[in-house]
Amino acid sequence: MSHEIVRTSETAPPPPKEYPIDEVVFNPPIDIFETAEGLVLQADLPGVATDSLELQIQDNKLSLFGKVSLSVPSEARLIHQEYQVGHFLRSFILSDEVDHERISAKLNQGVLEVVLPRLSKPEPRRIQIQID
Amino acid sequence: MPVFRWGHTWDPFRDLEREVDQLLAKVSLFHGIRFGRQYPPINVYELDNEFLLTAELPGTRPEDLEVLISGGVLTIKGKRLGPEGISDDRFRRQERPRGVWQRSLTLPDHIQDEKLAAEFTNGVLCIRLPKARAVAPRQIPVTNGNPG
């Protein structure tokens, strides 16, 4: 199907070995919407700072790993809990329609935005017919 | 059995997926129908001299966030809207909650209301509630109310 540019993986793969995970890891919620230029992916990563976010493209797989640092001092005692704090990991399969070279990303107030531009179609080329 | 389509072409699976996503988004948001709890979820931490209240509100603009205190009740309210100029039918996937929310909490008595402070970093709201110094119990004299 031509509109299947980004496919989200059904289950999060186990975190790569090099990350020292000692807390919980979540699959962050995402939005994907179309624009005139391509697709935009937004992911909620509360508590992740720019320097603790890793965004990787390998072959056609885009993975994000956001490491959360606690927003309270370590000596603070948790006395009431309604949510768990954890790192974020999720990966996506990009189709060939995405121009991998022009992918850009920014992180603002805990939201990662990845812009996935569509590959521009080459202009039709006129082929000269030679007469022998 | 062949399936005939007439009129404009459409993609039922894509539409269905979108419908389900939107339905889930509607019920799972701030009404607490799906999870049966209030939004946003809040954690409370205690330090020797203060309480810390945290909530994850990624993508909320600080100007859309309000923290109020009145009569021992702390109210936080805010909103998170979708991207401007993008209609719902342009969404391939919609999992992030959006909308308008409000939550109120009754604070313990020994909080210094006037020293309450809030900061919003990396999409996490942290409200500091300084504890009041312990007040020595005051003896209230009981007088004899009988006349004469």
- Residues A68-106 pLDDT 10s: 988 888 889 999 999 889 899 999 998 888 999 999 999
pLDDT band for B143, please (50, 70, 90 cuts).
Answer: confident
Q: How many CB pairs under 8 A join A and B?
A: 114
| B87 to chain A: closest CA residue | A33
Domains and CATH numbers, chain B: 38-83+95-130 (2.60.40.790)
Model confidence at A5: pLDDT above 60? no
| B50-56/A77-80 β-pairing | unpaired
Burial class (CB in 10 A: 0-12, 13-18, 19+), B64: middle
Domains and CATH numbers, chain A: 6-10+23-71+83-117 (2.60.40.790)
| A6-8/A111-117 β-pairing | unpaired
A79 vs B37: CB contact, 8 Å cut-off? no
Give the dihedral sign, CA A66/A69/A70/A74: positive
- DSSP letter at B27 equals H
List chain A residues with CB under 8 Å of B14: 3
Q: State the first-to-last Cα distance of chain A, in angstroms, to the nearest integer.
A: 44
The reply to whether ipTM tops 0.90 is no
Cis peptide bond upstream of B147, omega within 30 = no
| A86-94/A24-26 β-pairing | parallel
Tell me the residues of chain A between 5 and 64 that have a Cβ less than 8 Å away from chain B. Answer: 6, 8, 29-35, 39-40, 42-49
Q: Tokens for A37? A: 């230029």
